[in-house]
Amino acid sequence: MPAAILWLSGQAFSVENMEWNYSSAVELLAALRARDVSSVELTEAAITGIEQGDGVVNAICIADFDRARDAARNADQARARGEDGQLLGVPVTVKESYNVAGLPTTWGMPRYANFLPAQDAVQVSRLKSAGAVVLGKTNVPFGLQDIQTFNDLYGTTTNPWDRGRTSGGSSGGSAAGLASGFGALSIGSDLAGSLRTPAHFCGVYAHKPTLGLAAMRGMTPPPSLALPTEADLAVVGPLARTAGDLTVLFEVMIGPDPLTLGVAHDVTLPPARHDGIRDFRVLILDRHPQIATSAAVEAGVNRVAASLAASGARIERGSALLPDLAEAASLYTQFLFSGSAAKFPVDTYEQLRARADGLSIDDCGLDAARLRGMVMSHRDWIELNNRREIHRHGWRQLFGEFDAVVCPITPTPAFPHDHNPNLLERTLDIDGNAVPYFDQLVWAGLATMPGLPATAIPAGLSTDGLPVGVQIIGPMFEDRTTLRLAELLEQDIGGFRPPQLRTDIGRA
């Protein structure tokens, strides 16, 4: 079996026995069950790939190779005894923000470099119970508070397609690692597109589950105690290189926290609405009233729309049932920023409040929404939440006529690194026009604000050769509908492709 040569951003290295590193988890499980390969072999191949290739990408910020080797040996021994598991023997990675017993959890903040949780996060425990082999932790931005992935403790994670561009954030290390062949699966989180945006930028798959569907305990900022909490916007979810793998990991992750609802985490969700593309009714959106869409992203949305139409799906370009996108963006922005000022010094908070009081009542821009969110009272929050419920009702009506909505994740493909410490001074270039950096979050917020499931899928490459993804938004708790449509589209338009792969990585 010849060695392959993997090219990452122009840097080549020899790969011995790494033919499995770009295989799907489903393929690996089949090979493990057939005894075509062992978990030890898969784990050693993944470790070799990381050791030889991660210097280019910097996706894996904390390696846990010794324990991974032990877990792989245990997986092989379990198979020899006739045991099986949802992920038994499959190498995976974990976003740095999850607690893993014995490893640092820093959220990219240097002052917590020595914070070592004693217990695994719920989702890490579920991975291990399913038999997964945890290779290590993936890089994140400082405090998970950026659309890029860099921090002073672990450095910058680059995009495997272009080292000069970001991998996205905050699950950027996970997406970049998957695109580089570092493990078959990863887990991340999503508040402002933190699963979907890195998937879009790196050409992989991700799923933002329905709000509250997957337990979050232990995905906890240091040095806080890991408690079962109900998040207002945030979720945890899977990343993968195939849509089928995304579904496999989703099934492992879903379920309530055992501290609140017993030890079982089985959840009964409705099946996918349809099994074939021709039966789907899909609303296509490529324009937003608050921000332009780049030609590259619009082309990606249209590729998916054309594929759906060619396969017989009913597609529409607009609907009177769609909740108002401008108001949705304002609501999301206020919710998103409402917690950011909670620990500000009193004088800083009062300065922000004075600025907010000076806003015109007619100012409905996103800058005004950010400011109002930071000084929101509890009374204001309750009123905002009532408006959110009206939007949720609107989405329920929409999904009586449609099965899914396909739209952008961000307005552009991956953008160049921008580490300006003043985030409000950053801008995003959309086909030559500069817009405020944080305005790009409105597409991610479309699903986040009402708590809807959204699946990010690859939708081809831009003319510059960068990945372009789109998201499939579905009805609340109907995650299996968007995941199924992702699988069907993968068959039609293709899915993940390895970046800069110069020779066949498939098995000889």
Q: Which residues are catalytic?
A: 95, 170, 194
The token pair that represents 362 in the structure block: 């007619």
454-461 vs 467-473, strand pairing mode: antiparallel
- 3-state SS of the chain: helix, strand, coil percent to 5? 40, 20, 45
CA 87 to chain centre: 20
For residues 288 and 282, what is the distance between their CA atoms, to the nearest angstrom? 17
* Inter-residue contact 411 to 294 (CB < 8 Å): yes
Which residues make Cβ contacts (< 8 Å) with residue 340, sequence separation at least 6? 373, 374
For residue 61, the surrounding DSSP H or E stretch is strand 60-63
For residue 129, give the 3-state DSSP assignment.
helix
Position 99: which residue type?
N
Question: Exposure of 406 by Cβ count < 10 A (0-12 exposed, 13-18 middle, 19+ buried)?
Answer: buried
For residues 454 and 59, what is the distance between their CA atoms, to the nearest angstrom? 24
* Inter-residue contact 72 to 39 (CB < 8 Å): yes
* Inter-residue contact 206 to 456 (CB < 8 Å): yes
Question: Exposure of 389 by Cβ count < 10 A (0-12 exposed, 13-18 middle, 19+ buried)?
Answer: exposed
For residues 60 and 57, what is the distance between their CA atoms, to the nearest angstrom? 8
User: What is the SS3 string spanning 329-390?
Assistant: HHHHHHHHHHCCCCCCCHHHHHHHHHHHHCCCCCCCCHHHHHHHHHCCCHHHHHHHHHHHHH
For residues 447 and 473, what is the distance between their CA atoms, to the nearest angstrom? 7
* Inter-residue contact 440 to 291 (CB < 8 Å): yes
Report DSSP state, residue 209.
Answer: P
For residues 493 and 467, what is the distance between their CA atoms, to the nearest angstrom? 13
The residue count for the chain: 508
The token pair that represents 97 in the structure block: 């923000």
The token pair that represents 326 in the structure block: 């401008």
Letter string b/e over residues 227-265, b meaning 16 or more CB atoms within 10 A of that residue's CB:
eeeeebbbbbbbbbbbbbbbbbbbbbbbbbbeeeeeeeb
Report DSSP state, residue 272.
Answer: P
Report DSSP state, residue 117.
Answer: -
